[in-house]
């Protein structure tokens, strides 16, 4: 067996990068980083690298990324080596760190530069509304409308500021309204890109779309989004596809989609050929394009999986192989062509690694965060303590203050399974969830509030229910405060939703064990799931156009809308009654504001789903016999444990309150 690899050296972001694998593939290698002859860090070469995909390289999941060791930051000259454990140095090793001023590792690299001309649509030289006549027709500066087909075009292009898209005061979106079905040819909107040279092998595309359908049988959508070169006669030659068939209703966002530029186009681009971002439209309705961005470096940033070398926690170490998160970990990696590097491999006998042995596959957990540091601490602590299968916790910081940002940075530094995305401001709960979801790659994703606390085995139980049948699209747990998923009480005597306290003498963890024992594996088909916490098939959410953050921006009603769309598409939802997740109940809004939001979103849901009998759904959830029986058993078990529990001593004291006699329970 032969080892091949490359030590690529120091990237501009201060990361050491490279790759190492075996020929033939089959074993994961460990790479040792040495500074001036002293071993400093051991890192697993197991990160997926799109730039390593090639027929010559069997396994592209062989990259490594590690920060420059502190020993190199004193300003002196150093020699840095990378060698396979028990083997020889990788090709390209060693590298020399030149003497310089001591580096400040707290300085973040500058954000990637957007290469799209007039990306904020501030300049409209032909007025804010254009009815295209001569084709192609320039609408906004640098943005063109083009049509080829047998019938004349009926379209209008205008500047717009859609409500809830968090655009700056002087920013606009480009709205295209198509009023007549076209046959043959194409209908396109394209924007110019400033690009003289390509750094590396990739470009990264971000864009937002708001789709508004006017005809149910032919909804508007983007049949293909691609990068193209403008040739003679305004002919656009396709360079690379970004996405195909983007349909739905509401807001769809693409974040840092990596696009490889074929070699035959690099010469014309560097020679000055004009590159465009092209949207090919289909159907009838309105497509609104906002915040388009093309960069030469990913907008994602995350702590590398092996930033601290070997992990003392075996659970973390066993998950390294599962954390092949594609471009999420590639920020700053210098792209190389493996066909140019495969010739000078070095021989080594790699150390055999023990694979992770879990029944639940890799799951990503998306949590939008806006302040509430105390709740966030409890959530992260419970997820890390009670999740033993491969996971990544994605914290989407939605415009929090310095204290919360610092706490999130601490979580990232302490655990490589925690990743953070920072929004530029407070975009709203639902939009933050969408941003997190669209950065995920796992088949199953959890959407959770930041004020929940999970209990033992929570993810394994939810996932077992999710994969129990192919038509199950989502699973929710039971909780102390989750409307029809609440236990043991659903409503108070006054008819309000109950917020059940953990009984005296119990903790959240021990009460979760009691719920699991009483439920005994019970799963219940349910028409709607509460949005505080749920596990979903990510691909289905993407197919439906993500969450509707236009109509439900504040996190009220978006889960009901998603559940109704999943059911309409032929999928089922379940409640895992044996899984208890505590819900502190959102403190982001006061009681009056919550009531107002609930009223507004109820109206929006009913308007959007006018054909749904919501009274029937409420009746079905209220009358579910299996959950009702489980609640009665839980109340009885709680009372029995209070009276006879071996692990605690309790007293039941009769107390007179006026003419009434009530019983109070206390733990001794």
> Where is pLDDT greater, at 349 or 593?
593
Is the per-residue pLDDT at 649 higher than 50? no
Structure tokens at 474: 């989502």
Rounded CA-CA distance 165/431 in Å is 9
- The pLDDT tens digits of the residues spanning 333-345 come to 222 222 222 333 2
- pLDDT per residue as tens digits for the range 549-608: 877 876 678 898 899 999 989 999 999 999 999 998 755 444 555 556 566 666 777 778
The answer on pLDDT for 73 being more than 70 is yes
Residue 305 predicted with pLDDT over 60 = no
pLDDT of 356 above 60: no
pLDDT of 109: 60
What would the mean pLDDT of 53-73 be, rounded to a whole number? 78
Residue 456 has pLDDT above 70, yes or no: yes
Give alpha helix (H) positions in 520-557: 538-543
Residue 652 pLDDT class (50, 70, 90 cuts): very low
Determine the average pLDDT of the residues in 272-289: 91
Give the pLDDT mean for 52-62.
Answer: 78
* 3-state DSSP assignment of residue 273: coil
Query: Is residue 383 within a helix (H) or strand (E), and if so which, with residue range?
Result: helix 373-386
User: Is the Cβ–Cβ distance between 92 and 8 less than 8 Å?
Assistant: yes
Indicate if the pLDDT at residue 245 is higher than 80.
Answer: yes
pTM of the model: 0.51
Q: Are the beta carbons of 508 and 451 closer than 8 angstroms?
A: no
Give the pLDDT of residue 204.
Answer: 84
Q: Is 408 helix (H, G, I), strand (E, B) or coil?
A: helix
Yes or no: say if 581 and 476 are a contact pair by the CB < 8 Å rule.
no
φ/ψ (deg, to 5) at 177: -110, 120
The residue whose two tokens read 């925690």 is: 418
Give the chain's mean pLDDT: 79
Contact (Cβ atoms closer than 8 angstroms) between residue 447 and residue 434 = no
Q: What is the pLDDT of residue 125?
A: 83
What is the tens place of the pLDDT at every residue in 7-33? 988 876 567 888 888 887 767 788 888
- CA 404/CA 392 separation, integer angstroms: 19
Distance in angstroms (rounded) separating the CA atoms of residues 287 and 290:
10
The CA-atom distances, in angstroms, between 581 and each of 10, 478, 554 are: 44, 6, 22
- Give the count of alpha carbons within 13 A of 351, CB side only: 14
More confident residue, 72 or 315: 72
Q: Which residue has the higher pLDDT, 335 or 312?
A: 312
Greater confidence (360 vs 407) lies with 407
Counting Cα atoms < 13 Å in the Cβ hemisphere of 21 gives 22
- What pLDDT score does 535 carry? 98
**For residue 316, what pLDDT band results from cuts at 50, 70 and 90?**
very low
Task: Name the pLDDT band for 190 (thresholds 50, 70, 90).
Answer: very high
The b-or-e profile of 192-223 (16+ CB within 10 A means b, else e) is: bbebeebeebbbbbbbbbbbbbeeeeebbbbb
State the DSSP string of 441-456: -SSEEEEE-TTEE--T
Where does the pLDDT of residue 178 fall: very low under 50, low under 70, confident under 90, or very high at 90 and above? confident
Model confidence pLDDT, tens digit, residues 191-241? 999 887 666 667 888 888 888 877 767 788 899 999 999 887 678 899 988
What is the model's pLDDT at position 184?
65
Per DSSP, what are the bridge partners of residue 174? 159, 289
């Amino acid at each position: 067996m032969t080892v091949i690899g490359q030590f690529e050296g120091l990237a501009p972001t201060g990361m050491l990068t490279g790759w190492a694998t075996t020929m033939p593939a089959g074993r994961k290698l460990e790479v040792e980083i040495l500074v001036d002859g002293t071993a400093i860090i051991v890192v697993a070469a197991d990160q997926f690298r799109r730039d390593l995909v090639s027929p010559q390289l069997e396994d592209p999941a062989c990259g490594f990324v590690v920060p420059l060791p502190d020993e190199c930051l004193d300003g002196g000259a150093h020699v840095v080596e990378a060698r396979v454990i028990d083997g020889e140095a990788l090709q390209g090793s060693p590298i020399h760190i030149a003497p310089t001023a001591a580096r400040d590792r707290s300085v973040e690299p500058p954000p990637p530069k957007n290469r799209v001309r007039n990306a904020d649509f501030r300049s409209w030289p032909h007025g804010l509304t254009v009815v295209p006549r001569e084709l192609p027709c320039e609408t906004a500066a640098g943005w063109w409308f083009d049509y080829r087909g047998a019938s004349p075009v009926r379209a209008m292009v205008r500047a717009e500021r859609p409500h809830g898209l968090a655009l700056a005061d002087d920013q606009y979106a480009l709205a295209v309204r198509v009023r007549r079905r076209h046959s043959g040819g194409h209908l396109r909107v394209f924007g110019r890109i400033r690009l003289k040279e390509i750094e590396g092998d990739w470009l990264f595309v971000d864009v937002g779309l708001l789709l508004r359908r006017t005809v149910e049988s032919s909804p508007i959508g983007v049949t293909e989004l691609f990068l193209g070169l403008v040739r003679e006669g305004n002919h656009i030659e396709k360079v690379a596809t970004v996405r195909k068939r983007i349909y739905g209703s509401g807001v769809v966002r693409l974040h840092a989609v990596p696009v490889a530029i074929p070699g035959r186009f690099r010469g014309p681009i560097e020679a000055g050929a004009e590159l465009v971002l092209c949207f090919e439209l289909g159907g009838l309705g309105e497509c609104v394009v906002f915040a388009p961005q093309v960069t030469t470096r990913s907008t994602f940033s995350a702590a590398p999986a092996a930033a601290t070398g070997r992990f003392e926690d075996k659970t973390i170490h066993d998950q390294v192989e599962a954390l092949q998160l594609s471009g999420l970990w590639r920020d700053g990696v210098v792209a190389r062509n493996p066909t140019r590097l495969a010739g000078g491999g070095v021989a080594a006998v790699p150390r055999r690694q023990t694979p992770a042995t879990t029944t639940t596959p890799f799951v990503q957990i998306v949590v939008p965060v806006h302040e509430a540091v105390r709740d966030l601490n409890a959530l992260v602590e419970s997820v890390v303590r009670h999740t033993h299968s491969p996971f990544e916790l994605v914290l989407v910081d939605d415009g929090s203050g310095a204290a919360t940002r610092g706490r999130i940075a601490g979580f990232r530094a302490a655990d490589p399974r925690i990743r953070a995305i920072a929004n530029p401001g407070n975009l709203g709960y639902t939009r933050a969830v969408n941003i997190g979801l669209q950065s995920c790659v796992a088949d199953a994703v959890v959407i959770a509030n930041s004020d929940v606390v999970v209990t033992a085995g929570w993810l394994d139980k939810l996932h077992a229910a999710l994969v129990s049948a192919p038509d199950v699209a989502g699973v929710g747990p039971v909780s102390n405060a989750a409307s029809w998923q609440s236990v043991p009480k659903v409503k108070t005597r006054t008819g309000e939703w109950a917020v059940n306290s953990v009984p005296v003498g119990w903790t959240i963890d021990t009460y979760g064990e009691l719920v699991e024992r009483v439920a005994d594996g019970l799963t219940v088909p349910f028409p709607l799931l509460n949005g505080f916490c749920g596990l979903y098939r990510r691909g289905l959410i993407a197919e439906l156009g993500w969450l509707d953050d236009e109509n439900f921006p504040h996190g009220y009603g978006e889960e009901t809308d998603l559940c109704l769309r999943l059911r309409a598409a032929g999928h089922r939802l379940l409640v895992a009654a044996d899984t208890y997740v505590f819900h502190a109940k959102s403190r982001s809004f006061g009681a009056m504001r919550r009531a107002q939001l609930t009223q507004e979103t109820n109206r929006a849901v009913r308007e959007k789903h006018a054909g749904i009998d919501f009274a029937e759904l409420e009746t079905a959830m209220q009358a579910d016999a299996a959950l009702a029986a489980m609640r009665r058993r839980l109340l009885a078990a709680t009372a029995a444990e209070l009276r006879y529990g071996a692990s605690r001593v309790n007293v039941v004291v009769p107390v007179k309150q006026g003419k009434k006699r009530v019983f109070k329970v206390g733990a001794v």
